[in-house]
Structure 1
């Protein structure tokens, strides 16, 4: 009895979309995309989910100071 499904969560909409396509990615992150795609082939069920960055919540809610040093 082994694992059959994997979920990869990321905050980059671009990376998630590129990983879901079968087109060859020629951008600078192309090799990373291909590595992810190759790893996903091994799983019966694979989910790529975009998740907002938790660490940026303060910036998104404008709670941080706008005065630079």
Structure 2
């Protein structure tokens, strides 16, 4: 899935994101707007992960959910 498709389906994916990363707020989800890089940044910020760990988590989540 490319970045454009991720943004297009963001509203449908928000629930799955919230389930995976419960510390993300609704404001976080609104600001992420389906951007992989923004999601990585928020996961990194909220959970104290390194950029590499956050990228791996996000990419694994996308693969698991076919996003």
Q: Considering fraction of residues, name the structure with more strand.
A: 1
Q: Which structure would you say has the larger Rg?
A: 1
One fold, TM greater than 0.5?
Answer: no
- TM-score of the pair, normalised by structure 1: 0.29
Q: Considering fraction of residues, name the structure with more helix.
A: 2
